[in-house]
Amino acid sequence: MPDKTVEKVTTATGEPAPAVVAPDSGPGAAKARSLWSDAWHDLRRNPLFLISAVLIVFLLVMAAWPSLFTSASPRDADLANHFREAPHWGNFFSPEWLGYDLQGRSVYARIVYGARASIMVGVGVTVCVTIIGTVVGMIAGYFGGWLDAVLSRVTDVFLGIPFILGALVVLNAFDQRSVWVVIMALAFLGWTQIARVARGAVITIKQADYVVAARALGASTYRIMFKHILPNALAPIIVVATIALGGYIAAEATLSFLGVGLTEPTVSWGGDVNSGRADLRVAPHTLIVPSVMVSITVLSFLMFGDAVRNALDPKLR
């Protein structure tokens, strides 16, 4: 146990004053939390984060192991089930729970298996744009000069292309559009925002004392960029990437709805919304159910990203 210093003080009347105990500076004293530990401390107490995290984990499990939720195949079509069994809320998790579509396929099975394509596109595009944008932003921000000018102008050119319109043009060049084709098309146009955020963070961090000291001690450019600058620039990059993930899922659903996204045999929520819009009056569940799933998924990731942003904001710590 560390010693505590007690100082005796007398008052003006000569009586002893209350003892004053010096602050404990021993190893048991409370330690200041880092940015990440402080953020985690706040996130655990944020209902917005907890709700979104539970929904995201549920969606990830459904995308990874759809057979846990249904034994029916999303591609089995039986015209005898043509629009049979409108949403039947009493028989949960059975193939007819949410009814059948025009071709007699189980809407519930297609919802379960459609989560895989949406999650894969969202996560895949986010990983790709984070890597590309971080590398471009770090090079431009660290080296500056003509290299910064060239990379910044290239970023501005891509930033000026409307995202959905550009993806429409790129995807129209492919006859068969698999998950990886959609990921590459969206990543080709979506890295600009993270590049700008990374560039601004690197420009600020490279002027810090520890970076100047590392450079003065002869540290290599690689070590300075990836050992000193990148770990301290990750917070804003992670925030932007997390919020953008929901947008990429919505973009995939929009492209599939327009008929230029994922093609058969890939099961897609956006494709089901596209096929169900013509049957809105006859069988509204074929349109409403996949639309609700897209909304819930996008909202979950947006809520998650918003909670992470608030936790990592230094002004709110």
Q: What is the pLDDT along the chain (317 residues), one digit of tens a residue?
A: 444 444 444 444 445 544 444 444 444 444 556 666 777 777 788 888 899 999 999 999 999 998 888 888 888 777 766 666 555 555 666 656 777 887 878 888 889 999 999 899 999 999 999 999 999 999 999 998 899 999 999 999 998 889 989 999 999 888 888 899 999 999 999 999 999 999 999 999 988 888 889 888 888 888 888 888 988 888 889 889 988 998 999 999 999 888 888 888 888 898 888 888 877 777 788 888 889 999 999 999 999 988 888 887 666 55
Contact predicate 273/253, CB 8 Å: yes
CATH superfamily, domain at 35-316: MetI-like (1.10.3720.10)
Q: Quick one: pLDDT at residue 284?
A: 81
- Comparing C-alpha atoms, which of 127, 74, 70 is closest to residue 94? 70
> Left (φ > 0), alpha (ψ -120 to 50) or beta: where does 35 sit?
alpha
**Of all helices (H) and strands (E), which one includes residue 52?**
helix 47-64
Please state whether the predicted TM-score (pTM) of the whole model is above 0.85: no
The SS3 of residue 224 is: helix
Q: Quick one: pLDDT at residue 106?
A: 84
Residue 59's contacts (CB-CB under 8 Å, 6 or more residues apart) are: 115, 119, 297, 300
- CA atoms of 184 and 231, how far apart (whole Å): 27
Which pair of structure tokens corresponds to residue 315?
Answer: 């002004």
- CA atoms of 231 and 228, how far apart (whole Å): 6
- CA atoms of 173 and 192, how far apart (whole Å): 22
**Of all helices (H) and strands (E), which one includes residue 89?**
none
Q: Quick one: pLDDT at residue 84?
A: 62
Q: Quick one: pLDDT at residue 74?
A: 82
